[in-house]
Every structure is written in C-alpha cells, then in structure tokens.
Amino acid sequence: MNYFLCSVCGQKLTESEKGAVCPKGHSFDKAKSGYINLLPNNLPKGNHGDNKLMVKARHDFLEKGYYEPLRKELCRVIKKYAPEKAVILDAGCGEGFYTKGVFDYLEEAEMLALDISKDAMKITAKRDKRIKCAAASVFHLPVESESVDICYSVFSPLCESEFERVIKKNGYFIYVIPAENHLWSLKKAVYNEPYKNSVKPYEMENFSFVEKINVDGIMQMENENDVLNLFMMTPYYYKTSEEDTKKLMSSPPEEIEYSFEILVFRK
C-alpha cells in the first residue's frame, strides 16, 4: 500500500518503477537509489538539510556502532507500543541508521522514511528496498492523515501539527532528544565555558505524555577521526571557530559521554 501524497495537490500517488503520479497528473521522479523526490519545485536553490559532508560524517560515525545502545533501546520502545502490522514513520530519518534498525527489529511493519536531505535519502533508500522512502520536509509531510500507528523522530525538527495529523487516534509519537549531559567531554575540549543542554518540558498539545526512557553511557573513541565525525554531526561544529576546532583535534578526548531521552506520547 502506498501512503505518499502529491506535494502539489495532496491527492494520493501511484508509484511506478520510474516515479509516482497523482490523479491530476503531477509527476515525481524516483532516484536511482530508490527514493521519490517529493520536495516542492519552489524551494530556494542550494542544499536543504544535511549536505554530503555532514551525511558522510554521520554515516561513518554511526556505522562504527557508537550509538548502537540508543538504536537498540529505540527499537525496544517502538515494538512495545506498535500493533501488529504497524505503519511506522521515521520523520527526519537522516541516512537511515535508525530506520533500518527499527525495520529489522519489527515484524511485518510498513516502514516510511522521510528527510529533506537528498544526500541522506540516497543512503537510506539503499539500505532496504522494502522501506518506502521520499525526500520531503517534516513541516509538510506528504503522508495521509491518520495513517501511521507510530511516528518517531531522532534529533530532527519538531512539527507537532503535522505529526498529530498523520498519527492515528490513540497512536504514538516517540521523540529522541539529547539529555543535559550529552557530549559533555566533547564540549569541554572545545569551549572555554561549555554549557549543558537545555531540556524542555515534556508537553505536546493534543498528546498525553506516557513515559521517558534514559539511555546513558560512555564511548571509548577509537581514533581522532571518529571524534571529528561526531563533532561534525552536531550543530556546534558549524558555529565553532577554526581555532577551537583545531584545539579539539590537537587533544581529542578518549572518552565521551552520551546521554539521550526517549519520550513517548500518545495522541
């Protein structure tokens, strides 16, 4: 079953090997990797979402297994709340590390994956042809209303109105965010006055808060390139001076804390 909608008129798409088309004739190309490009034509030129450099850094770091404890716990939590033959949406999936993990862990799930970065979607779509992939913004989800059992988001932008729209009644939204002490050693190695993450109250309109799961640990960094890739995954890298980046790489920490919160909400 196809859950994607035309990003022009909102009608249901019919997919083919080469792309997708709606009843009004709006057509969308399918990339060689397998994702459908549902981004509107009126987007400004340039990169949207993560660029090739950022995607490569994230992919190289995640494939080393540093965040595997988070992926395993996320899979467990999603399976806890997923009905049989669930429809799962990874909103802001990035390069698909968590998407593929969740899909493999669940039985008979329909997996949808969306991200605004076409560079990221190239990797996600190649991970498993059974995952339905599209380049799209989480602020304009080309997904039918009340069609998914669980929508989850890992470090991606939050658009409550769209998530509420696509989740079924009594369905779940699962949000993964960095906790207060996440990457504290990395920050101390970069900044003279590091600051901890600000964690917002657990409130979403038209959702009830169900539970919070903490995932904490210490990563033993194998080499300085892994430290750099981790740094490049964060917003800090693109706001940090070249001098501070050199300071980090001159003496990269051998151990770095990770600290996540998995938040579960019910619609």
Q: What is the pLDDT of residues 32-58, one digit of tens each?
A: 999 999 997 765 555 567 889 999 999
Low-confidence ranges of the chain (pLDDT < 50): none
Q: What is the pTM of this model?
A: 0.94
pLDDT of residue 139: 94
Domains along the chain? 34-266 (3.40.50.150)
As to burial, measured by CB atoms within 10 angstroms (0-12 exposed, 13-18 middle, 19+ buried), residue 26 is middle
Model confidence pLDDT, tens digit, residues 61-101: 999 999 999 999 999 999 999 999 999 999 999 999 999 99
Say which amino acid occupies 184. W
Q: Cα separation of 59 and 120, whole Å?
A: 9
pLDDT of residue 199: 86
Q: Quote the mean pLDDT of the chain.
A: 93
Closest by alpha carbon to 130, among 108, 107, 111? 111
pLDDT of residue 48: 65
What is the C-alpha R_g of the chain? Answer: 19
Q: Cα separation of 252 and 190, whole Å?
A: 9
Query: What residue ranges in the chain does DSSP mark as E strands?
Result: 14-15, 19-21, 27-29, 36-37, 87-91, 110-115, 132-135, 148-154, 167-178, 208-220, 255-266
Helix (H/G/I), strand (E/B), else coil: 159: coil
